Amino acid sequence: MIRLRGVLIWLALFAALSWPVAVSATSPLLEWRGPIYIAAGFAGILGLVVMVLQPLLAAGYLPGLPPQRGRRVHRLVGIALVLLIIFHVGGLWITSPPDVIDALTFTSATPFAAWGVIAMWTAFAAAALALSRKKLRLSPRLWRPGHSGLVAITLVCTIVHAVLIEGTMGQVSKILLCALAVLATGRALLDLRAWALLKRRRAI
């Protein structure tokens, strides 16, 4: 019974995350785009998909992945997210350098560009903080709120960035994916905060 429940959870998660990707893959807008631009766009979509998975891994919600193993996978997936962001921006740079320069300098005429750039830098900062935690000898009281705060900013800016773009992602599937990311991240942050407070009280 427990194994069946786990399988159903994984199937439901796969269906929810693959639907927006499938909608994008069948969009008629792809007919007017080059392969590099398409690949860059899908890197961004997959990045949003990863942002749904990350809090689920960190909090140990996924069946078959207990908290300790889930956090190890969380770190690897975090590196993958950074690579997806680099590929997303790099692909757009190859296809249209002036647009990327305008975005990076916050002079773009498109409102979604600035939100995407902020999300990019805060995601990089969150990853750098996680990777340098041991080297900087940061205590959980310092690094966890810092990392969580940067992740929250990244998520909000990414959602605004995605919602403002009228591209290959269907409006309904895009809203669903963004809602899943908010729910997963919000639940994980609340649970992890509660766990940290409980641990702190036990230490007193």
- Give residue 194's pLDDT: 46
Distance CA 101, CA 78 (A): 26
- Give residue 202's pLDDT: 45
Distance CA 70, CA 56 (A): 8
DSSP result, the chain: -HHHHHHHHHHHHHHHHHHHHHHHHT-GGGGGS-HHHHHHHHHHHHHHHHHHHHHHHHTT-STT--HHHHHHHHHHHHHHHHHHHHHHHHHHHHH-HHHHHHHHTT--SSHHHHHHHHHHHHHHHHHHHHHTHHHHT--HHHHHHHHHHHHHHHHHHHHHHHHH--SSS-HHHHHHHHHHHHHHHHHHHHHHHHHHHHHHHHH-
What would the pLDDT profile of 48-87 be if each residue is shown by its tens digit? 999 999 999 988 889 888 878 888 999 999 999 999 999 9
**Regions of the chain with pLDDT less than 70:** 1-2, 192-204
Verdict on whether the full-model pTM lies above 0.75: yes
Distance CA 124, CA 151 (A): 10
- Give residue 34's pLDDT: 92
- Give residue 193's pLDDT: 59
Give the chain's mean pLDDT: 89
- Tell me how far CA of residue 5 lies from CA of 16, 73, 132, 182, in angstroms: 16, 21, 37, 23
- Give residue 82's pLDDT: 97
- Give residue 112's pLDDT: 93
